[in-house]
Structures are given as structure tokens and as C-alpha cells.
Amino acid sequence: MNDLSTFLFSKLTLGQEAAAAPLVSWGDFQAILPALVLIATGTLLLMIDCFNRGLSRTGESEREHSSLSAAINFIGLLGTVAAGAFACASMEQSQPVFAFGDSIRVDSLSGSVTLIIILGTFFSLLSAMDYLRRFDAEHGEFHCLVHYAAASMILFVQSNNLIMLFLTVETLSMAVYLLTSYLRDSRRGVEGGLKYFILGSFSSGFLLFGFTLLFGATGEINLSAIAESISSGEADQSLLLAGMALGIIGLGFKVGAFPFHSWLPDAYEAAPTVATGFMSVTVKSAAIFVLLRFLMLASGQEGATGAATAAEIFTAVLSLLAIATMLFGNLVALMQDSVKRMLAYSAIGHTGYLLVGIVAALGPGGKAAAAAVIFYLLPYTLMSLAVFTLLGYMGRDGQDRENFEDYRGLSTRRPFLALCLLIVLVSFAGIPPTAGFWAKLYIFRAAVDGGHTWLALTGILTSIISLYFYLRLVVNIYMRPAEEEIDTDPDSNLASGLVIATAALALVILGIFPDLNLEALLDTLGG
């Protein structure tokens, strides 16, 4: 009882001392400007959409309705560009910036992932312009949900305490649930969104329980303070390990790692193709980064050294998860007839490669391995956006082209699209001279340098296995004649074509000059 009284009195005293100083300053808001811009943009778009629907109900001219739809697209893209500009400005700071009572941390690592999230958001909105118009689903609420989700992701990767982590991941999840079932007339979409929601709720429970145990083990909610407690050996080891285990389960669901992946194939297949592309790159990037930072802090990589036991346990667990995820994702992808489901299981395999990088980041040379993980996210973002945009591009009559047979003879009907898709698939498989090759090479090299050669060998083996289902699509594109005309209208898909071409070109450029990008990233990380 006396201990409790002392604790409460100390907190009260600290609160009285802090009352003299401003609780919030302009610098706090400046640190989260990218997220604030996205939130403001999403809110504005929702208001414009309400007015736009009012015009439709009152029978106003189609021209005014179309003008407002175009304005929604333009404002959405402009807001994303502005958020990217503020994110680039924050990258110029050499030291981490803490805001809102150390609940937000902005540094080079979170800044790099923020830029990747904004890039994925921009290209997703650009490809959605054509897709939603062709599917008669051009509503501002889509743009609003994308902006809110992107803002939540940015705050998620910037979070520096357990409460902020949980609040932002739940806000993110709600937006993504709605995006999955955006096409409300689609039974499959509603079913996929409901399944995602139910399983996501279970994962949130694991995450919350894990955070509670971490607080019980350390008496802290701030991540840096938790790291210091772990490194000093003051944390209760049993509560710590149990909390970290539950946290890994919760975050494992978000990244789609085996065996927490069951939601992913159904959600990928059920969601609108442009929403699938957005989810596959931005949600994964944010969740992978948080898992990386979470484990690096818990292993003493950013604090004093002293958490050797915890680091060894985390390394062993993550290694097993990485192996299982790589094998499961690539082997099950072999058996898929749907291109979307093949890409879903392929995404699980790529999660395994990223887990290999995280394992390497927990040991010696952690910063180089962390840089390899961040570098991997950039080509993966470009590859996923390009392939899902192309799937949406090929859709017709309100339906996506999801089967391998639908892409027969694409090289003779749409040679430029076929070439872009070839580059993307080759990069997915990790074949030079594309960025995908270097992304995997850096991950595997970091694993070998960290003494995890067997993980690198497993990654190489599963990459060889993946050649089958990627080249299976290539065979249909280039070596089999089309059974019917592909009736897409290039003039109505200019934005989608721009996304596909830009992503394919960027993959080639990154493949030719990979060292420049990795060296710049290492310089940014200070390692």
C-alpha cells in the first residue's frame, strides 16, 4: 500500500512540475505534419463527396458531377504530394525528434518508411482513378479511407509508446476492413472484409494483452524506457517473454506471417484490386517496420547491451517463423489457378524474406540488416503496385481478370503491358538486373554476415521454387495464343498505364544502380 501511495504521489508531483511548461508545442505538430495533411485531405474529400452525391440526387448536370469527381482525384493526389514533401523535410534532421511527451518518435528509419507509405498511397490513388470509374464505384469515401489509413500507418511507424501503437494500429485496421469490403454489392468482398475483421479483432486482443504484460514486466509504456529496462536486466523475464510472444503474434497477423496468414488470401481476392495493391504494400511496410523496431528495442540494439537471453530467444522464434513462412507461401502459391491468390501466397513468401532480414538485424551489423529490410520494401512496393494495377487495368464488365488463362496472348494484344508485367514478374522472382534481385541479395547477405547461413539458403531455395508460378504467367503471356480479344480501352486507362510504366522503369533503374540507393540509405541511418 505504501508503494502504491509513493507511486501515485510521484506521478502527481511530476504532473504539477510539468504544468508550468506547455504540454503541446508547434514542434509537436510539425513532427506529424505528413499525417495531419493526409487527415485534412481525407476529411475535405469526404465533404466534397457529400456535396457531389447531393448533386446526383437532385439531378444536376452530369458535367458538374464529373467535375467534382475530377476535383476529388486531383485534391487527393495533391494532398499526398504535400505529405510527401513534409516527410522529405523531416528526413533532413540528423537526430531523432520526440513529440507529444515522447509518444511520437521521428527519425531516419521511420522517415524512410513514411516515404514508402506515401509513395504507395500516391500510386494507389492514381491507379484508382481509372479502376473506380470503370467499375462505377467512383466515390470520395474510397479516397477518404485511403488517406485515413495512410495517416494511421505513418503515426503507427512513428509511435514511441505502447498506447500510441495500439490506437494507431486499430485506426489503421478499421480503414482497411472497410476498403476490403468497399464494393458492397460483391458478396465475396463483404465475406472477405468480415473474415478480415473477425481475425483482426483476435490479433488486436493478442497485441493488447502482450502490451499489458510488457508494462507489467517493465513498469513503462515508452519504448525507449522499455528497452533500457530490458537491457539493464531489471525487467521481469517471464512477463517480458510472454508479452513479447503475444506482441509477435499480433504483429505477425498484420504482416501475414505463417501461421497467422489465413485472412490474407481471402482479403486479397475479395477486395477491389486497387485496394488490394494499397493493402499489400503500405500495411505490410508499416507492420514490418514496427516489428523490426519492436524487436530491436527489446534486444538491446538501441540501448545498453544486456538483453542477450531475450535476443537469443527472439532470434530462434523469428528464424522458425521465417522458414515456415517462406516455405508455406511459395509452395502453396504453386497450386493456385487465380492470379490474385497466387500473388497473395507470394506475398506471404516475401514476408518470410523480410523476417530473415529482421533476424539478421537482431545480431551484429544490425543497422546494415535494417537498411536491407527498408531497401527491400521499396522494390516490393513498386512490384506489387504495378501488378495489381495491371490486374485492375485488364478488368472488364465489372469483373477482374484473375485466372492465368485470361492473360494468354497478352504480348500480341498489348505488347507494352506485357513487357512491363514481364519486368515485374522477373523482379518478383529475384532475377537480375532488376531491383528484386538486389533486394533479396542484400537480405541474404545480411543473414550470412550475421551467422544465419541456413536462413539464406532456405531463402534461395524458395526463390527458385517461386520461379515456377511467376514464369507460368510469363508463358501464358508470351507463348500461348489468346482465345479472345482483350477489349481494354487504352485511352480510358492512362493513369493506370502511367503507374505500371513508372514502376517497371524504376525497377530497372534500381536494378542497374542498387548500390547508390543502399549507400544513401546507410548514410541516412548513420551506419
Domain ranges, ordered by start, for the chain: 28-525
Mean pLDDT calculated for residue range 191-211 = 82
Position 523 scores a pLDDT of 55
Distance CA 307, CA 322 (A): 22
Mean pLDDT calculated for residue range 80-101 = 79
Peptide bond into 96 cis (omega under 30): no
Residue 4: pLDDT over 60: no
Mean pLDDT calculated for residue range 13-17 = 45
Distance CA 336, CA 343 (A): 9
The three three-digit cell numbers of residue 396, written as one number: 472488364
Distance CA 129, CA 499 (A): 11
Residues in the chain: 527
Burial 67-79, CB ≥16 within 10 A → b, else e: ebbeebbebbbeb
Lowest mean pLDDT among 90-94, 170-174, 310-314, 408-412: 90-94
Position 462 scores a pLDDT of 92
99 secondary structure, DSSP code = E
Position 521 scores a pLDDT of 56
Q: What is the pLDDT of residues 78-89, one digit of tens each?
A: 888 888 888 887
Distance CA 431, CA 377 (A): 17
Lowest mean pLDDT among 6-10, 204-208, 348-352: 6-10
Q: Which of 11-20, 203-212, 219-228 has the highest mean pLDDT?
A: 203-212
Residue 201: pLDDT over 70: yes
What is the CA 34 to chain-centroid distance, rounded?
Answer: 17
Position 12 scores a pLDDT of 41
Q: What is the pLDDT of residues 448-500, one digit of tens each?
A: 888 888 999 999 999 999 888 888 888 888 887 766 655 555 445 677 788 88
- What confidence tier does 67 reach under pLDDT thresholds 50, 70, 90? low
Q: What is the pLDDT of residues 236-279, one digit of tens each?
A: 777 888 888 888 888 888 888 888 877 778 777 777 778 888 88
> Which DSSP string do the residues of 386-446 spell out, in sequence order?
HHHHHHHHT-BTTB---BGGGGTTHHHH-HHHHHHHHHHHHHHHT-TTSHHHHHHHHHHHH
At residue 358, what are phi and psi to the nearest 5 degrees?
-65, -40
Mean pLDDT calculated for residue range 87-100 = 75
Residue 364: pLDDT over 80: no
Strands, E, within 78-218: which ranges?
97-99, 104-106
- The CA-atom distances, in angstroms, between 30 and each of 19, 25, 33, 109 are 22, 9, 5, 18
Residue 399: pLDDT over 50: yes
pTM of the model: 0.85
Average pLDDT, the chain: 78
Q: Please tell me whether residue 222 adopts helix, strand or coil conformation.
A: strand
Position 32 scores a pLDDT of 85
In the chain, the percentage of residues whose pLDDT exceeds 70 is 80
Position 8 scores a pLDDT of 40
